[in-house]
Amino acid sequence: MSTNNGKDTSSGYIGKSVKRVEDKRFTTGNGKYTDDIVLPHQTYASFVRSPYAHARIVNVDISAAKNMSGVVKIYTGADVAGVNGVPCGWQVNFKNGDTMKEPKHPLLVADKARHVGDAIAIVIAESQEQAVDAAEMIIVDYEELPCVVDGLKGAQAGAPLVHDDVPSNICYDWTLGNPIEEVNEAMSAAAHVTTLEFVNQRLIPNAIEPRCYNSSYDAFNDNYTLYTSNQAPHVIRLLMCAFVLGIPEHKVRVIAPDVGGGFGSKMFHYTEEALLTWCTRQIGRPIKWTSTRTEAFQLDAHGRDHITKAEMGFDNEGKIIALRVKTFANLGAYLSTFGSCVPTYLHGTLLQGLYTTPKINVDVTAVFTHTTPVDAYRGAGRPEATYLLERLVDLAALEMNVDPVELRFKNFIPPFDGVNQPGYQTQVALQYDSGNYKGVLEKGLDMLGYADLRNAQKESARNGKLLGIGFSTYIEACGIAPSAVVGSLGARAGLFEVGQVRVHPTGKVSVYTGSHSHGQGHETTFSQVVADKLGISMDDVEIVHGDTERVAFGMGTYGSRSLAVGGTAIIKSIEKIIEKGKKIAAHKLEANADDIEFASGKFTVKGTDKSVGFGDVALTAYVPHVYPKDLEPGLDFSSFYDPTNFTYPFGCHIAVVEVDKQTGKVELKRFVAVDDVGNIVNPMIVEGQIHGGVVQGIGQALFEGAEYDDNGQLTNASYMDYCMPRADDFPMIETGTQITPCPHNPLGVKGAGEAGAIGSTPAVVNAVIDALWSGGHKVKDIRMPLTSERVWRAMKN
């Protein structure tokens, strides 16, 4: 029996823009999100949250609320005082070797609120409305305390303390690269030093689906089920069971069904997940909490928020000879799950960029403030590093009056494929896998028509508009991550991935992956890979993810890792299946297993026309009446794949802007993105990722930013106040690709999820600065987002 009859499986899926199989359910309203799930005896939760950034909680009076109609139970900080807080997954040490400061992040606060939105009490009721009404009747007596919201001010002497036992609010200080003395010496010999002091502003992730959790406890079987809008359900189970609640993992099932976007913000273990799971055990009924949009603004871990001084030294030929960086990273009020590694190992390690800079030193001080915790957000540290480097290079070109393109060509690391030429060892711990950096810039310039634009720039200055061209040539470390490497850098977990491939007796295939899809299209891309490798139809492949009971283990989706790490784990299992299949085929064909080759869904005796189909072999494995003696029945393999290195996608983004001299309004005229993400399985999905990322990155450059006032109030916590980019803010994005395969994974893929958001931001800001210089305004920096007011003021000063 063959399941492949009549279907074209020979042409191959890899490299084709196959339409996304998941879109049918999403576009017809049939996606199943956590909030869609209503369990028998469901209850609903609402929180009492601090309106103050810093306040002592004098008293919490629940007497009126607890007798209200529909109220099931109310818990306050005192009730969970004995429960652990949520943990941090990455340990960074102080320069002197001391462990970073890890103040407790409690499920509910009892003593003090440390940021607006800190949870004081949870109300559980029969309906959502009753829970909200009762929460409003809880009277909290606060003693408001002074607060600090700025990372630099937070570390100054006399700043209000976020945690009494963290002196100067400093979580850690940290350094990487060459010894500072060597960098200082190199810098002092520089013919030109470009200095830039800037803010990489705080961003709010804004996933379209607000966070939602539904936790239930089955007293009869003593086990729990947590539905969660999360990117890494196994990680949540591990953190919640082992570090917060002390529940054996086999008693807890965590399911992340359809999830509507995350951008990093849904990979962290939030207090609400653990609290709901603790509460459901107490009341014996399922509890659901759905974040309001205001809560999403105030509580979903924010991104970026660095205050940096960076200096780049050049010799008299324009070669970069030194880079010195000092950054204050705002961590918010508590350490979020990966908050500690973002400004360090995901930021400092990327400061080589694409350049041969021989001496680099980066110094980071991570600071607690009375604000929402900060963690990974699309790019996570790498956008901050790219912004720093690319702004410096374009600004240096302006200051030295050389072409930014020429300056880059002069400083690029020469091409290397990682196979015939070794990888490139940076000054900041990483070893790049393969790259052809001048290639992407050359391609970008071709697409742009560079020379013509420079001529147009001269014309433009005469008629009221300033034309600017900005470049960004970026690199990122993706495919996170080789466990031994990250372990030596402080990660408290391995970052491998799991892929199980189960061939059913009929030759249909279920694939269980630890990667999680929340917009990435894994059900399509992974199916393409599996169908091609097994020579079957995509229709015969099912991708299962997001459920700890169905998938053995998984580290989840973030850091552009799904295909490079998760995909490779699946490939490893497919290799095992083919190897076993060959033995079964050899037995059936009365040949030696070494003489069997597998291609296009057929096991063939080399050099003959004797063959047996994949479906026949699958059936034989499950109905082993005629079967090799020394072989187990069944066709089902699982693999844990731990990558040997990060992957290093790179690219060139070029922005062309027009600045109105009268109003300062910036209009993005063109955007060229040439990305090298290694081999590509589905070009349409990769292009979609680039488009989305580019728009998110430009959102930071021109529109977005969390604004705290001096009292620690987030003043733009709604879509009326927080400016999101819209389609009509953009020209059509011109995309191009170059392919330099990754040498250390079988698909040769590098990852495309974050590239757009990493490369685009500095390109746009550089273009605006370039426009201003063309009009004689020698401005070094304008604080993002570049609103017309800020650009106008920059031209006036």
Partner 1 sequence: MQLTGKHVVNALPSKIWEMLMDTDTLARIVPGISRLEKTGENKYKSIIEIKMGPVNSSFTGDLQMEDIKEPEGFTLKVQQNSKIGNANAAIKISLLPVNENSTEVSFDGDVKLSGMLAAMGQRLIGGVSNTLTKQFFSNMEKELQSYVAP
- Give me the residues that bind partner 1 (CB under 8 A), please: 51-52, 116, 136, 144, 294, 297-298, 709, 711, 713-718, 720-721
Q: Which is nearer to partner 1, 300 or 636 (CB)?
A: 300
Residue number, 35 or 295, with CB nearest to partner 1: 295
Considering the complex, what minimum distance in angstroms separates the CB of residue 139 from partner 1? 9
Name the β-bridge partners of 55.
113, 144
In the chain, count of helices (H) and strands (E)?
19, 28
| Contact (CB, 8 A) for 630 and 620 | no
Nearest to 533 by CA among 2, 7, 14: 14
Dihedral in degrees, nearest 10, Cα atoms 395, 400, 402, 408: -50
CB 531, CB 8: distance < 8 Å? no
For 57-87, letters b (16+ CB in 10 Å) and e give beebebeebeebebbbbbbbbebbeeebbbb
Question: Do strands 119-125 and 71-76 pair parallel, antiparallel, or not at all (unpaired)?
Answer: antiparallel
How far is CA 422 from its chain centroid?
28
Closer by beta carbon to partner 1, 294 or else 506: 294
- Looking at beta carbons only, is 144 or 249 nearer to partner 1? 144
With 0-12 CB in 10 A as exposed, 13-18 as middle and 19+ as buried, what is 222?
exposed
Nearer to partner 1, 50 or 745 (CB): 50
The vertex-411 CA angle with 408 and 416, nearest 5°, equals 105
The amino acid present at 12, given as its one-letter code, is G
Closest contact distance (angstroms) between CB of 136 and partner 1 is 5
CB of 345 to partner 1, least distance (A): 33
Least distance in angstroms from the C-beta of 769 to partner 1: 30
Closer CB to partner 1, 690 or 714, in the complex: 714
b/e 446-475 (16+ beta carbons within 10 angstroms → b): ebbebeebeeebeebbeeebbbbbbbbbbb
Q: Which has the closest alpha carbon to 678: 418, 403, 295, 354?
A: 418
Of 141 and 406, CB closest to partner 1: 141
Nearer to partner 1, 217 or 708 (CB): 708
Closer residue to partner 1 in complex, CB, 91/713 = 713
Q: Distance (Å, rounded) from C-alpha 749 to C-alpha 772?
A: 39
- DSSP 8-state class, residue 422: P
Nearer to partner 1, 483 or 716 (CB): 716
CB of 179 to partner 1, least distance (A): 46
Structure tokens that stand for 403 in this block: 């072409």
Distance, in Å, from the CA atom of 312 to the CA atom of 714, rounded to the nearest integer, reads 35
**CA-CA-CA-CA dihedral for 253, 643, 437, 458, to nearest 10:** 10
283/723 with CB nearer partner 1: 723
Task: Quote the least distance from Cβ 565 to partner 1, whole Å.
Answer: 39
In the bound complex, what is the minimum distance in angstroms from residue 53's beta carbon to partner 1? 8
**What is the smallest separation between the CB atom of 708 and partner 1, expressed in angstroms?**
10
Residues 6+ apart with CB under 8 A from 411: 318, 319, 320, 354, 355, 356, 357, 393
Q: The tokens of 708 are what?
A: 């705290």
- By beta-carbon proximity to partner 1, the closer residue of 53 and 681 is 53
Q: At closest approach, how far in Å is the CB of 115 from partner 1?
A: 12
Nearest to 418 by CA among 768, 744, 729, 152: 744
- Nearest to 577, CA basis, from 541, 551, 553: 541
Amino acid at 154: G
Q: In the complex with partner 1, which residue's Cβ is closer, 431 or 713?
A: 713
The answer for residues whose C-beta is within 8 angstroms of residue 77's C-beta and 6 or more apart is 57, 60, 106, 108, 109, 110, 111, 120, 121
